[in-house]
Amino acid sequence: MEDEKLNDETSKVEVSEKDEKPSNEEKNEKLSNEDKNDTKPEKKNDKKAKKNHYEVEIEKLQAEIQSLKDKNKKDAEEYLKARADLENIRKRLFEQSQADRMYASFNLVGDLIQPIDMLLKIVDYKSDNAEVNNYVFGFKMISDQLKQILEKDGLKEIKALNEKFDPNFMQAMSTEKKEGVEAGIVIEVLQNGYMYKEKMLRPAMVKVSE
């Protein structure tokens, strides 16, 4: 009897322990739920972190793109400026070369002016001697030919006699009061003045009325 009673009590204790002790499936399910509960916030945080990382990378790329755009714009402006400067230099050199070619004979013509002046003075010489007049005629032919050659190349005599005095092309050597002539008029040319194309070769030396 006592053995049976003891066995009954033992059976009750075992049943009670079984009821209180969870099964392996229950344990696994509980752990799985706990894991799910633990991992849910972590996944959200991971997504948020990844999103922030992508945004940072995008901002960096956008900044780099903008920097490259600014650099390209600056390079393009510098290129256009350098090209314009080069074009201006090319134009200046071309104009200078044209001017050099145009006035290549400037000094030579200037050197010939004095001999021509001397020939013109000889040509104006009046004599009763026929032989002298023949020489004068010969000098006149030479002086006329020289003037024609130089005028063809660009030599121009400055018209001064009876013209209003112009300090840009004339040099007043003296003044004189002349009846019937207003002040500031050239009444005598002491030395002819010349232009070579658009440049002053020599101003006219003149006498001006007071």
The pLDDT assigned to 17 comes to 46
The pLDDT assigned to 122 comes to 83
The pLDDT assigned to 137 comes to 86
pLDDT tens digits along 33-43: 555 454 444 45
pLDDT tens digits along 86-99: 899 989 888 888 88
CB 106 within 8 A of CB 196: yes
Domain 103-209 CATH superfamily: Head domain of nucleotide exchange factor GrpE (2.30.22.10)
pLDDT tens digits along 136-186: 888 888 888 888 888 888 999 999 999 999 999 999 999 999 888 999 999
Any idea how long the chain is? Answer: 210
Which of the two residues, 4 and 174, has the higher pLDDT score? 174
Which of the two residues, 21 and 45, has the higher pLDDT score? 45
User: pTM of the predicted model, to two decimals?
Assistant: 0.55
The pLDDT assigned to 58 comes to 86
43-60 residues labelled b (16+ CB within 10 A) or e (exposed): eeeeeeeeeeeeeeeeee
Average of per-residue pLDDT values in the chain: 79
The pLDDT assigned to 209 comes to 94
